[in-house]
Every structure is written in structure tokens, then in C-alpha cells.
Amino acid sequence: MELRSTQKPEFVPKSWYNIVPDLPEKIPPYLLPDGTIAKREMFEVLFSKELVRQEFSEERFIKIPDELVEYYLQVGRPTPLLRARNLEKHLGTSARIYFKYEGVLPAGSHKFNTAIAQAFFNKREGVERLSTETGAGQWGSALALAGSLMGIRVRVFMVRASYYQKPLRRVLMETYGAEVYPSPSTITSFGRKLLGENPEHPGSLGIAISEAIEDVVNSGGAAKYSLGSVLNHVLLHQTIIGLEAIKQLEEIGVGVEDVAFVVGAVGGGSNYAGLSYPFMMHRLQGKTNARFIAVEPRAVPSMTKGRYEYDYGDTAGLTPLLKMHTLGHDFVPPPIHAGGLRYHGVAPSLSILVNHRLVEPVAYGQREVFEAGVLFARLQGIVPAPESAHAVKAVIDIARGIRGGEKPVILFNLSGHGLLDLKGYEEFLKNSLPDT
């Protein structure tokens, strides 16, 4: 069995896969606080027209503009599909473990896949500036680079605690030319109100989203908002991961129906949807019996413990209400190192798949996740982002449960590298990592 596939340019798909028409039930409409349905025009205040069209599209495949395919090629897509042979040997498993490695993208994670698409469509519609939030800085740095490539300005509201504790990602965003403000900031009225109450306010992702939206609404149309996860159009853009993986597996003799487990970490759900939805398409058509395992932190258990109900995407309640698994928009997550997994909700489409038991959620504690990350680094060389290490931990447990003789294929998404997250690894190695 081959250790890796090649990275042929023609493996980069020409269309994204939209799961919306294939879901076992319709996504409940987005609502306004008074219970009425949020109109498309409202979304067009925040997002580019083409992105809104994609958000509500019922087409199964949506064409990727040729120019955008070129950007994907330029940054090195298709990303590698590799076999974790040393991990298999170490575990003594007969399972075959493959992973898609998105950490090779500039800025270090899968987030660039949608960042460049969003910057592309906004630029084409004459938008001058994008405004967004970032937690630890993965999303902000991906969008900062996308803005730089497309010639569109980027303003990032970075969760205040991370702004001061993780200066390296801020420097990366500034290197790519973005303006970065600690959130709560003094440039929005919501930020000023919170700072007035507590000048040392640590901030949160929900607060930063509220500030970015206020900034866009006050821009008079010059600026639009960009979101790094949760919404349909964001998940759509990420499906290039799974579409590439299917072709790469085929190249080395593994058919879609041979994949037994599709595993990934879930914050808002975009990298996991990106890898898994093209496989889920085959599952929904009855062509495979693969199991879909979605991994979250025990400290932010939106899928395993959250309620399925309408909730806001942000803290201030400026976004429409989405029906999703949520811990509540005022949930304050503990300060775990996997910053990208600290969001209170998960994507509406993924929530439906969880409800129908097509996707099985599992939750892990921080220490066992870092232990898995360290093991993976020592065996395979790649230091996983703390987010991705959640997937690694689940894969190890799945492989350990395989009986001798069976040779199932386990496929997971290594959504990013952890080279800017070594602080968490340091704490783990010094035995001072809190086990939340």
C-alpha cells in the first residue's frame, strides 16, 4: 500500500460540492429576533452578493472560477495525502491511517481555502475592505494573506487576550498588511462600552464578531464582513479538501467505499465538513457505510452537550439566528489552547447530520489531546495544531479498537500545523497544562 499520493494539479477540483440539497432535511431558515425570516438583502449588507447566492444555493455543484483555481494552484494545492505509517506501526494496528495535510498552506491551516474565495468575490464586486474577527489568529492571518493577494484591505478584530498573549500571529497578520485591533477595541461603540465596564476585558470570539459587524454596518457599503466558519458558503469552499482526497486515494488504489472512518476536529465545522461532505455525499447515496467522527474539546462541548436551537452567531446578537447545536451565545469558553475550537455553536448543516446520527460527535480533554499531538510529532514529524490534535487523538482510539485482521482505512484532516502554538506544547511537556 502506497505511503502517499501525488499532488497532480488536475486533482484540484473545478467545482465545490454543496451538501445542502442532499441533507436529510432542509436547513431551518435564518431568523430575525422577532421570529420573521431574515431576507437575503439583509445578508447583502454584510456579505458580497455572490457569497450570499452561494449561501442560499440549492445547486449540488458550484463552479470555481478558473482564476480562483489558479490561486489554489499557486499556493500549492492539492495538499498532500499521506499515510501515517509510523503511527500505525507504533500502535500495532492493522488499520491504514491516511491524512490530508492542510498545514502546508501559507498561514498554516485550511482557512486560506475560503479566505481566498471570499476575497476574490468581494474584490470582483468592488468592495474596498474586509472586516473580520480572529481568536488565536489562524483565520485572521489567512484572510490577511488573501487580502494581500487580491488587493483588498483587511481589518481584524483579535480577541484581546490572544492579542497580548499570542503576538506572533498578530505579527504574521501585520506582515501580510492587515490592520489588527485588540477586541474589545476603542473603534466601535460596542467595544467602547465593554472597555468602559472593564478596561482589562479579555474579549471573546463572539464579541470580536460583533465589533467586525458594527464596523461593516457603519462603513456605508465600502467594507464587507468575512466569516471563517459555520455558514454554508464557508463550508462549501472547504470541500476542495475532500474532493482532492477522493482523487488522491483513488490514485493509490483506495476507493471511496474502502474508507471506513472520516475523522476531523470541529470548531464551527468548516475543516471537517470540507474533508467529510464529499464522502457524505456517497454515504447519503448508499454507496458507502463509512462512519463519520467529529471531535470537539470537552471544555466546549457544543455537539455532545449543546442544545439544538436558534441562537445568534455573535455575543451582541447582531447576526441573524441560526438553528444549530449551541452552548448559548453568551457561553464563555475556558482558555484552552485550541483557540479555533472555542466557538459556542456549530454549522447548521453539520448539526442536522449529527441529529440524524450520520455524524458521531466525541469530546476529549486537553491533556490527552496534547499527548496525542506529541506522539504524532515524534512519529510523523508534523507538530499538529492543538485543534488538529483532537482528530489525531480520536484516530488513535479508533485504531486501537480495530481487531486484528481487519484493515479499515481511517482518513482524517490534519487541518493545520502547531508551530505557532508551541506554548501549549511547552506547558504539556512541563506538566503544567490544565486538563480542562
Ligand X SMILES: *Cc1c(COP(=O)(O)O)cnc(C)c1O
Q: In this complex, which beta carbon is closest to ligand X, that of residue 268 or of residue 361?
A: 268
Cα gap 237→431, rounded to integer Å: 39
Cα gap 221→216, rounded to integer Å: 7
The grid coordinates of residue 86 equal 509510523
Burial of 35 (0-12, 13-18, 19+ CB in 10 A): exposed
Q: In this complex, which beta carbon is closest to ligand X, that of residue 19 or of residue 265?
A: 265
Amino acid (one-letter) located at 250: E
CB of 234 to ligand X, least distance (A): 7
Cα gap 212→156, rounded to integer Å: 8
The grid coordinates of residue 224 equal 464587507
CB of 429 to ligand X, least distance (A): 20
Structural element, H or E, at residue 351: helix 348-355
Judged by the rule CB under 6 A, the positions of this chain that interact with ligand X are 109, 111, 138, 229, 265-272, 340-341, 385, 387-388, 415-416
The grid coordinates of residue 312 equal 445568534
Q: In this complex, which beta carbon is closest to ligand X, that of residue 194 or of residue 209?
A: 209
Q: In this complex, which beta carbon is closest to ligand X, that of residue 11 or of residue 412?
A: 412
Structural element, H or E, at residue 360: strand 359-364
Burial of 318 (0-12, 13-18, 19+ CB in 10 A): buried
Q: In this complex, which beta carbon is closest to ligand X, that of residue 348 or of residue 408?
A: 348
Task: Name which of 217, 239, 230 is nearest 47 in CA terms.
Answer: 217
Phi, psi angle pair for 18, to nearest 5°: -105, 115
Phi, psi angle pair for 301, to nearest 5°: -90, 60
CB of 230 to ligand X, least distance (A): 7
The grid coordinates of residue 13 equal 477540483
CB of 431 to ligand X, least distance (A): 25
Q: In this complex, which beta carbon is closest to ligand X, that of residue 319 or of residue 415?
A: 415
371 touches 379 (CB < 8 A): no
CB of 363 to ligand X, least distance (A): 14
Cα gap 321→111, rounded to integer Å: 24
CB of 35 to ligand X, least distance (A): 28
Cα gap 325→322, rounded to integer Å: 9
CB of 266 to ligand X, least distance (A): 5
CB of 303 to ligand X, least distance (A): 11
CB of 269 to ligand X, least distance (A): 5
Alpha carbon separation from 64 to 90, 130, 143, 343, 375 (Å, rounded): 41, 21, 18, 28, 38
Q: In this complex, which beta carbon is closest to ligand X, that of residue 96 or of residue 417?
A: 417
371 touches 389 (CB < 8 A): no
347 touches 273 (CB < 8 A): yes
